[in-house]
Structure 1
């Protein structure tokens, strides 16, 4: 049991901007994020979780060197890296002022000609960058034309409560979430842009519920305001139930819940025992001479 038995977590949805070269839009995103940070602080949250690309979520067609009619290699020279960096610093400064841990999605540049990472920055309550998670299981378009994949899971602790990070389409890869179970996390922060089609009933949100129940930990689901009518942001319990959700309208919002670590869940330790080779002790070979064998 960690030293703290409860952590108050806020999860957000907001409109993400598709053009990292649009300076005015980047500044608007930064101010919207800072407004949500103040809301989370007023709600008593210790940590605010934001979606994939909260500062900028580049469109594959806007970024294509071949023009919007053709999806091709991204032109990263068009990104306003200076304004992105300024926005991240402003968010970090406010996190330190509010004593609010903040997990925010943005781009992380690498030395050209390497493509950037699509990342989650983890900013501590003192305003310092604690760690960064880079999306690993990229879509075909992302890995072919846009980003460099990450290579490792990331965990961090707030008041003794252990968090892991996932993003993008990684809810479709159960092994990512099982890895975090093995790393003893209490909650996975899953940031996504979502599938983006209102007719699909939010498969990433449904998968997040299943993964929370299968691994017996909380999952915080942070999506975009554009996808909220389909799958609003929210927090899922270790039983796979929604504790709270943002409104299902395309508006910026937060919702807040306490993660209570005192409730015991027998499923997680039992699954660990079951995976340890338990069943091999009971799997004696059948005796072919047995008269009671079932006949096919």
Structure 2
């Protein structure tokens, strides 16, 4: 009885610390039944893409080129047997701050969103959703999401199901100073969704700099975080975003899919997938051209590193804390 009470106390302590329900907190402690250490893992084939970054939303032809690139890569993912394809931030168009600035191009100022060819964007997104339905392919892609004027849009990731329906949307929360001052409305919450028993979380833009967002998804029990970026500040990525993504995968013991622009591939940051051990298991070609790579994800039979960290964070040390009343002589070093 004492052991059972102590176990329940640890579960309640974790629930209080993380804000989870008791049932969700319990999942972090529950062991597999005796003799069931190799429970059947859940599996899913993921395609992650890199695409050409286009930055002028006034360019209708460019928007249509982006749509064609996306649908071509979707077909390749389908032919490779993927259930889910993951695209970068702003894969339809990632508007440049100087193109959008009412005071530009020499000075960065408030964005004029009337410059965006919204009708063309809607047509391309509708065609992408229809392709997802035809191919029976889940699709996650970055796009600007328009709000009712005068509100600025979100910088978002759409999750389109294999029925061609937008089932959820993630809005970038940790915006750069320029984005939040002149361009976008920030999001406010994490977003998860499930496919075939695996759970995915979504992050975007420069959010790789914020470990608390990745820890948040570990607490939400995801198997994989889909991180989409347009690169650091429109400068050639030196690999720092990708390196940080590796660290987050290793310290949270889940898969991370890294989708970025093809332009960054030539300087050492191609798109790819990182294992829960923090190792790249597949990466796109480093030639600066649109391409994709395929990985078979699994939930893993037992993730002991993740279980260990969860136990350590659960309050397991609390009963062992002591208060030593011994007062050392001030003249001694130790």
CA contact (8 A) 1:117 1:134 kept: yes
Q: For the residues of structure 2 that align with 1:37 and 1:188, how far apart are their CA atoms?
A: 20
Find 2:226's aligned residue among 183, 189, 196.
189
Find 1:38's aligned residue among 64, 75, 99.
75
SS state of the match for residue 107, structure 1? strand
Find 1:248's aligned residue among 286, 292, 315.
286
Q: For the residues of structure 1 that align with 2:107 and 2:328, how far apart are their CA atoms?
A: 67
Find 2:204's aligned residue among 136, 158, 167.
167
Q: What is the deviation of 1:278? A: 1.9
Runs of 4+ in 1 over 4 A off after TM superposition: 1-4
CA contact (8 A) 1:12 1:253 kept: yes
Q: For the residues of structure 2 that align with 1:78 and 1:201, how far apart are their CA atoms?
A: 31
Residue 238 (structure 1) aligns with:
276
SS state of the match for residue 170, structure 2? strand
Residue 165 (structure 2) aligns with:
128
Q: TM-score, normalised by structure 2?
A: 0.85
Q: For the residues of structure 2 that align with 1:253 and 1:290, how far apart are their CA atoms?
A: 66
Find 2:324's aligned residue among 279, 286, 292.
286
Show structure 2 runs of 5+ residues with no match. 1-31, 33-38
Residue 141 (structure 1) aligns with:
178
Q: What is the deviation of 1:279? A: 2.0
Query: How do residues 88-127 of structure 1 correspond to structure 2 at under 5 angstroms?
Result: 88-127=125-164
* Cα distance per residue 1:174-202 (max 9 Å; x no partner): 1111110111100000000111444x631
Query: How do residues 181-220 of structure 1 correspond to structure 2 at under 5 angstroms?
Result: 181-195=218-232, 196-198=234-236, 201-220=238-257
SS state of the match for residue 150, structure 2? coil
Query: How do residues 59-98 of structure 1 correspond to structure 2 at under 5 angstroms?
Result: 59-98=96-135
SS state of the match for residue 119, structure 1? strand
Q: For the residues of structure 2 that align with 1:274 and 1:262, how far apart are their CA atoms?
A: 21
Q: TM-score, normalised by structure 1?
A: 0.95
CA contact (8 A) 1:4 1:160 kept: no
* Cα distance per residue 1:23-58 (max 9 Å; x no partner): 110000000000000010111100000000000100
* 2:63 equivalent to 1:13: no
Q: For the residues of structure 2 that align with 1:184 and 1:21, how far apart are their CA atoms?
A: 41
Show structure 1 runs of 5+ residues with no match. none
Q: What is the deviation of 1:289? A: 5.8
CA contact (8 A) 2:41 2:300 kept: no
Residue 259 (structure 1) aligns with:
297
* Cα distance per residue 1:116-145 (max 9 Å; x no partner): 001000000011111000000000000000
**Higher Cα radius of gyration:** 2
Residue 276 (structure 1) aligns with:
314
Q: What is the deviation of 1:284? A: 0.6
Q: For the residues of structure 1 that align with 2:73 and 2:248, how far apart are their CA atoms?
A: 27
Q: For the residues of structure 1 that align with 2:300 and 2:187, how far apart are their CA atoms?
A: 34
Q: What is the deviation of 1:4? A: 6.4
SS state of the match for residue 126, structure 1? coil
For the aligned residue pairs, the C-alpha RMSD in angstroms reads: 1.7
Q: For the residues of structure 2 that align with 1:43 and 1:232, how far apart are their CA atoms?
A: 20
